[in-house]
Amino acid sequence: MAAPGPWSQDNWHLRPNRNGTCFVHRGRPEPLDLHLGMFLPTLLTQATPEQQDRFFMPAWNLEIIGTYAQTEMGHGTHLRGLETTATYDPATQEFILNSPTVTSIKWWPGGLGKTSNHAIVLAQLYTQGQCKGLHAFIVPIRQLGTHEPLPGITVGDIGPKFGYDEMDNGYLKMDNFRIPRENMLMKHAQVEPDGTYVKPLSDKLTYGTMVFIRSLIVGDSARSLSRACTIAIRYSAVRHQSELKPGEPEPQILDYQTQQYKLFPLLATAYAFHFVGAYIKDTYHRISGDINEGDLSELPELHALTAGLKAFTSWTANAGIEECRMACGGHGYSRCSGIPDIYVTFTPSCTYEGENTVMMLQTARFLVKSYTQVSSGQRVTGMVSYLNDLSRQRIQPQHVASRTATVRITDPVSLVDAYKARAARLVEAAAKNLQAELNHRKSKEDAWNRTSVDLVRASEAHCHYVVVKLFTAKLSEIGNAAVRAVLTDLCLLYALYGISKNTGDFLQAGILTDAQITQVTQRVKELLAIIRPNAVALVDSFDFHDVHLGSVLGRYDGNVYENMFEWAKKSPLNKTQVHESFHKHLKPMQAKL
């Protein structure tokens, strides 16, 4: 069934009210986030039409408020290790849900602590004496009307966290809790009334919601980094400090090359991630449409691409947000800067919906499999098609000098080729190292673990290539010549800065020469000066309103210091001139002196 009103997987943060459409989600954590972002999408993608008729409208109208309970106290990203069980009882046609150990207690789901009355629970399915793996079940957890926990359900809030104070992340323990057979989400896999299990076309179809959320995190990485860059660059245009030349006025700190070197590569990264986020969203919807038509051929690459880019973009954005905070000096540490709130809200994305190192290793499995196919004479397609070049290079080897001469450091298309060659070499090296470990008669698991550092580096190189490729491809779509010129400079800065931070890879593989690396370093510095006049306009184009930015330092009007003073005066400690602690502690102590 189609969702009513404006709701879709593109605008899950919107809900209508009597006056029209309003925002529930304004870029900060809220208790309904998982209901809107995971519970409703999971119903749309994994429930049968009959189940959607039964659950979707009550959920849309907030009679049912749901969350997504996957992570357990003892297991997170390793889904096969989840311990919660759902055992089918054919006599009553019910599933019996249990949390058999303390480590099996569901832990962390947003909105579970106090808000939700239902949860989509991921549990190991047992039927006819066999475990059929992880499946999703709709589980009522609180009584409608009274909101009291149902018998057999223990539920609550997990307590204070690093951030996310607005979110009631919760725990859920189930003791022989029974639900009807029809509460298992059965679009892809089914359990028939007699307990017969009907398997899905692909086991990965059960993880559709996670793939969807990972694709959203790529876009969120772009937005969060963009907000931090906006604050830091605007403030750097307002702040004057020190002297460039004795006797002259203090310059804007944005005029210092070191400040530009901190912030402009991050600005370029924010733009790059914006284009990647749009691509991954479109790709997700396209492949999801194919899956609904029964075509699963691109599902493995979708899973690998969203896993890798989720990790690559969130790691980079997380470090970049902190770099922006430090670039604001001491005032960046104040919450009035807005950056501390951006950081504590964004940083969990490095671990939720798949811990980033594990995500990179999932991408690596796909890369190694693709490399193995190429080695056996097969061709691969999609974003890994560059691996096909490896077989040709073995037939027609090139000397290093002739290969490096083709890389033009002022041409984004040529730099895409350089990143492509780097990714191919690191994937090949990781695959060969893995095979060497296997040849030492080690088990597959031991060999994988002993090669995992190389595998993660290969995945990072692959993702870096994808980002440079997509940024470069976007340039040709820009009709306005002036805008295209500015974005070309940003694209070059992103690509060249990435080379300067990974020079060993490009030199060792013979992709670039020492002389070219020197040119790269010089060109990065030249681009900083070229981008400087447009830097504030480039962050203004993100179009963050002050209310959404939540920053005194990053105000659009630049009136930082007056508003910082006003902000400070509103501190709770300033409600009285003399704080109660004076009378309680200081005055008695002074009286004894």
Q: Which member of 72, 94, 353, 437 is catalytic?
A: 353
Task: Let me know: does 292 contact 270? Beta carbons within 8 Å.
Answer: no
Among candidates 505, 301, 517, 515, which has minimal Cα distance to 421? 505
Rg of the chain's alpha carbons, rounded to an integer?
27
Contacts of 543 (CB under 8 A, 6+ apart): none
Each residue of 343-358: b (16+ CB within 10 Å) or e? bbbbbbbbbbbbebbb
How is residue 590 written in tokens?
């002074």
Contacts of 372 (CB under 8 A, 6+ apart): 431
Among candidates 416, 422, 314, 295, which has minimal Cα distance to 359? 314
How is residue 346 written in tokens?
């964004």
Count of H-run helices and E-run strands, the chain: 21, 13
Does residue 354 come out as left (phi exceeding 0), alpha (psi in the -120 to 50 range) or beta? left
How is residue 139 written in tokens?
């589980």
Each residue of 511-529: b (16+ CB within 10 Å) or e? bbbeebbeebeebbeebbe
Contacts of 123 (CB under 8 A, 6+ apart): 82, 84, 85, 86, 97, 134, 135, 137
Q: Is 298 a catalytic residue?
A: no
Task: Let me know: does 252 contact 265? Beta carbons within 8 Å.
Answer: no
Query: Dihedrals φ, ψ of 16, to 5°?
Result: -80, 150
Distance CA 155, CA 148 (A): 10
Catalytic residues: 353
